[in-house]
Amino acid sequence: VRNEVQHAGVQYILDSVVAQLAADPSRRFVYAEVAFLARWWRQQDEATRRTVRQLVEQGRLEFVGGGWCMSDEAAAHYGPAIEQLALGRRFLRREFGACGTPRVAWQIDPFGHSRQLAAVFAQMGYDGLFVGRVDHQDKATREQLQEMELLWRASGSLPPPAADLFTGILPNVYNPPSGFCWDQLCSDPPVVDEDSEENNVDSIVSAFLQIAASQAESYRTNHIIMTMGSDFHYENANLWFKNMDKLIAHVNARQANGSRVHVLYSTPSCYLWELHRANLSWSLKTDDFFPYADGPHQFWTGYFTSRPAFKRYERLSNNFLQICSQLEALAGPVAREGPYGPGNSSVLREAVAVAQHHDAVTGTEKQHVADDYARQLAAGWESCQLLVANALASLSGSKENFIFCNGLNISVCPLTEAAGRFTVILYNPLGRRVSWPIRLPVNGASYAVTDPQGQPVPSEVSPGQLPRPPARPAVWELLFQASAPPLGFSTFTVSRLSRGDPRPHPARTPVLSQPQDIQNEHLRVLFDPLTGHLKEIQNLDKSISLPVFQNFYWYNASVGNDESPQASGAYIFRPNSSEPIPVSSSKRVSTHLVKVGGGDGVPGAGGVPRVLSPQPCLLQNALVQEVHQNFSSWCSQVVRLHAGQPYVELEWTVGPIPVADGWGKEIISRFETTLQTDSRFYTDSNGRQILERRRDYRPTWNLSQTEPVAGNYYPVNSRIFIKDKKFQLTVLTDRSQGGSSIFDGSLELMVHRRLLYDDNRGVGEPLVELGANRQGLVVRGRHLLLLDTVESAADQHRLLAQELFMAPYVVLAPGGGPSYRHGQPSLRQFSALRRELPPNVHLLTLTPWDAGTLLLRLEHQFERGESVNGSQPVTVDLLNLFSAFTITSVQEMSLGADLPLNAISRLVWTPAIGPAQPRPVPKLDPSRVTLQPMEIRTFLATVRYKVPG
């Protein structure tokens, strides 16, 4: 819409291309992103639709990729990445049938490529993948060795060739050869072939043949591919097609003089077919394509962290979408047409899908575009909240005035702050019971909390966390530990016992004697009494301890120098020194200790928090213990131990990052330990597989390292860890971040960045995010720390990562609403499962599909060999799993859910190490569904809902 910012009109491209294809049967065009296609399609008349369907059936218009968008591969989590592909593929299948189903994955613009996404493409039935961007050193090596096309083995757990994916690297990213750009946005000369002094046929044909011969040297067969187009091209498709028609005719005419080059319009699937017919064996790759650099000082590793608030909002939005979809599936049609109005999950589904785009969740868009993505997500939340209210009323039997406090992250919720009595409904989207800490802003001094059975739940009132939003009273927080059954909810009642002023705020000045330690039944965390920094973590269950020092630092963003003019920006991370600067100007950080709990365990008793000078004797029955650390006026952290939780929670608050000194800053949280890590560290791939990383090393080529920090950064979607022979320190994240281990025993995560220069990769503006008050963005997030033995670490981090990703969700109500159906008793606790899922099984998807059918994805969430128990195959009885409905029939589908599993037939490629034969699809027994490590199985289930009453 904003042509003054960026002229880009996909609707005009489609209008123009369809007309040009219809004009000449030899022409071809490929199209990738369905979100824009779907909008355009809705506006077309039946005649145009007929034409387009005919073009698709004839293979002249080919859909490639076929996701709702061309997703990012670094910051996108595998859950929403699968869903956005499925959403696009479902549209194509519905509107264009079998010919519209993409056979080729087309990731030509993302900035690096992930192993997990390659495994996803393979399991969706794609024959191959084409990519545009690989590291410049990697590409140079591959061109020399003729390894621009390869076989990518994208899983170490799934038996080959289940996750094998043929991968082709395009010669020129996604652009035409130099001198052959004929769009209205280009300035290359057109082909002039009439009788005139401008006639340039000879020179154009000779230049083209030279380019073709040079390109052919890097590829193994006598077929090569050229991409003729670029960003925003083909609004006037006639320019391209007219000149390409001439080029094809004149190049092929040279065959009469002995030229052996034949040019034709083609598509990626036709090209792939020819490569397959060549019957060659291909080099095997098992790592991934991160990090990506397009020059010696140009590592695209900044976007792993860029726009951290949006990255969190995307993650939360997917979390809520899963809850919304589950409740829609569990309650049935009444969720969409209930007492609260028409509920609709598709608004949020499409918004989350488009947020996976390689210029969305990446943070590499202009500010106004980022604002628009956020606005679309917010609109999706609204329509899903109606659906959730309808579903909860139906399932609980009570028409409450459901309230969604979207401001709980900044301790704002008018209901809990004002009401003397209210109910808290905790919905758990996981397939196992969870215990979850509840924190609600309140103004009373003490409260009584009761669980679904009416039993008292220990609770406390504690001072809320600083900094507080402007113009807000000093609100306190009510804390209690809630538990919810699998795929269900628990309802808690909260009553204010005494209004009283909750005591004057304890002085928030640093206490004279610094806190020494905090402890619960699993962990003890020690602090340096002189500096206030984290010093040591002890795992009491295993009797192990590890010195761990943590601090915040900033890298000074480069503005370019003599070596290279490259500045740090939204895409590119380039510090001007490998040594970061501590955020705190003094060696000491001011700290104070808050212990909440005690009394005799009766709700409200002893509810006054104590800000202590720590004494050797510690309260063991505290609900929560916190050390508040202040590193500077714009950087603070709470180190928190909840009762019963086997991890340390670090809640960091960073911003507004000061830039008045003229320096852009990239903020990291760094952990230093005594672990002997031998240059190795481990990061996840899209929140799923774990990959080993080695500092200053790449598995497939001899790296010449030119950026010792940025060149060792990798995407961290959910976790990063370091280990030695015995112990492992794992940090889990609540959003995608960049991370590394810059020296042995250390581990760091970039949490926020604010830059003053554009990095010249297409955003056209610096990443300065001003935030709501225009002073600079303040971001809050959590790192969860796990210390364990190497053998047991996966048992903890696998389950905890899913708990962070599919977190329970709080809905509030004043209570006392009328019953949903006359005479129906209200349910204070509900589970849609007859029994918990085994710990190594995750319910990835439960969502309505067509009338009377649900889509269900179950996955094994462990890799082969990473856990003695967790990595075993596991069997689930699908027919007796759910109590909310009865499954009457089941069909197993491909991962994309658009094809039955037994209809998937992929091209089989031979790796250089020898062939792997595809296994036949076993007959489905829905009462015995076995999952192997890392396997995802997808089902369409026909269901019958119980008639209430």
Query: How far apart (Å, rounded) are the C-alpha atoms in residues 556 and 793?
Result: 35
The one-letter amino acid code at 410 reads: I
Q: Is the pLDDT score of 200 beyond 90? A: yes
What pLDDT is recorded for position 948? 55
CB count in 10 Å sphere of residue 678: 12
Confidence of residue 921 (pLDDT cuts 50, 70, 90): confident
What pLDDT is recorded for position 669? 98
Task: Give the contacts of 812 (CB within 8 A, at least 6 positions apart).
Answer: 402, 403, 404, 405, 413, 415, 416, 422, 423, 424, 425, 440
Which pLDDT tens digit goes with each residue over 395-406?
999 999 999 999
Confidence of residue 3 (pLDDT cuts 50, 70, 90): low
| Top-confidence residue, 815 or 346 | 346
Q: Is the pLDDT score of 464 beyond 80? A: no
Residue of 109, 135, 734, 795 marked active site: 109
What pLDDT is recorded for position 512? 37
If phi over 0 gives left and psi between -120 and 50 gives alpha, with beta otherwise, what is residue 379?
Answer: alpha
Query: Which of 264, 116, 259, 233 shows the shortest CA–CA distance to 717?
Result: 116
Confidence of residue 113 (pLDDT cuts 50, 70, 90): very high
Query: How far apart (Å, rounded) are the C-alpha atoms in residues 248 and 146?
Result: 26
Q: Is the pLDDT score of 585 beyond 90? A: no
What pLDDT is recorded for position 616? 27
Q: What is the dihedral of CA 147, 150, 154, 156, to 10 degrees?
A: -80
The one-letter amino acid code at 131 reads: V
In this structure, are residues 165 and 154 in contact, taking their beta carbons and an 8 Å threshold? Answer: yes
In this structure, are residues 741 and 722 in contact, taking their beta carbons and an 8 Å threshold? Answer: yes
The residues pairing with 856 across neighbouring beta strands, listed in sequence order, are: 846, 939
pTM of structure: 0.95
| Top-confidence residue, 186 or 819 | 186
Which pLDDT tens digit goes with each residue over 506-516?
433 334 355 68
Q: Is the pLDDT score of 664 beyond 90? A: yes
Quick one: CA dihedral 898, 901, 907, 909, positive or negative? positive
Average pLDDT over residues 174-197: 95
Query: Per mean pLDDT, which range of 7-21, 183-197, 370-384 is the poorest?
Result: 7-21
Quick one: CA dihedral 875, 484, 895, 304, positive or negative? negative
Confidence of residue 622 (pLDDT cuts 50, 70, 90): confident
Query: How far apart (Å, rounded) are the C-alpha atoms in residues 527 and 537?
Result: 9
What pLDDT is recorded for position 722? 98
Query: How far apart (Å, rounded) are the C-alpha atoms in residues 492 and 829?
Result: 9
In this structure, are residues 890 and 877 in contact, taking their beta carbons and an 8 Å threshold? Answer: no
Token digits for 799?
Answer: 């389950």
Which pLDDT tens digit goes with each residue over 733-792?
999 999 999 999 999 999 999 999 999 999 999 999 999 889 999 999 999 999 999 999
Query: How far apart (Å, rounded) are the C-alpha atoms in residues 133 and 136?
Result: 9
Average pLDDT over residues 632-636: 95
Token digits for 351?
Answer: 């918004």
Query: How far apart (Å, rounded) are the C-alpha atoms in residues 687 and 734?
Result: 11
The residues pairing with 553 across neighbouring beta strands, listed in sequence order, are: 582, 668
Query: How far apart (Å, rounded) are the C-alpha atoms in residues 908 and 555?
Result: 47
Task: Give the contacts of 230 (CB within 8 A, at least 6 positions apart).
Answer: 174, 175, 176, 181, 183, 185
734 is catalytic: no
Share of residues in the chain with pLDDT > 70 (%): 93
Token digits for 67?
Answer: 């996701």
Token digits for 19?
Answer: 């007309």
| Sheet of 885-893, strand order | 841-848, 853-860, 936-945, 885-893
Quick one: CA dihedral 213, 214, 217, 219, positive or negative? negative
Which pLDDT tens digit goes with each residue over 682-741?
999 999 999 999 999 999 999 999 999 999 999 999 999 999 999 999 999 999 999 999
Query: How far apart (Å, rounded) are the C-alpha atoms in residues 381 and 406?
Result: 10
Question: What's the mean pLDDT when you consider all of the chain?
Answer: 92
Per the document, the length of the chain is: 949
Query: Which of 556, 74, 576, 566 shows the shortest CA–CA distance to 296?
Result: 566
Average pLDDT over residues 125-131: 98
DSSP SS3 for 530: coil
CB count in 10 Å sphere of residue 470: 7
Query: How far apart (Å, rounded) are the C-alpha atoms in residues 832 and 326?
Result: 10
In this structure, are residues 120 and 85 in contact, taking their beta carbons and an 8 Å threshold? Answer: yes
Q: Which residue reads 């880009």 in tokens?
A: 8
What pLDDT is recorded for position 142? 98
Quick one: CA dihedral 887, 888, 892, 898, positive or negative? negative
Confidence of residue 501 (pLDDT cuts 50, 70, 90): low
Task: Give the contacts of 850 (CB within 8 A, at least 6 positions apart).
Answer: none
In this structure, are residues 546 and 787 in contact, taking their beta carbons and an 8 Å threshold? Answer: yes
Average pLDDT over residues 275-284: 97
What pLDDT is recorded for position 451? 97
Task: Give the contacts of 342 (CB within 8 A, at least 6 positions apart).
Answer: 336, 386
Q: Is the pLDDT score of 825 beyond 70? A: yes
Token digits for 648?
Answer: 């340390």
Any idea what the Cα angle at residue 764 is, between residues 736 and 749, rounded to 5°? 20
Half-sphere exposure of 416 (CA within 13 A, CB side): 32
The secondary element (H helix, E strand) that includes residue 245 is helix 237-253
Confidence of residue 821 (pLDDT cuts 50, 70, 90): confident
The one-letter amino acid code at 725 reads: K
DSSP SS3 for 668: strand
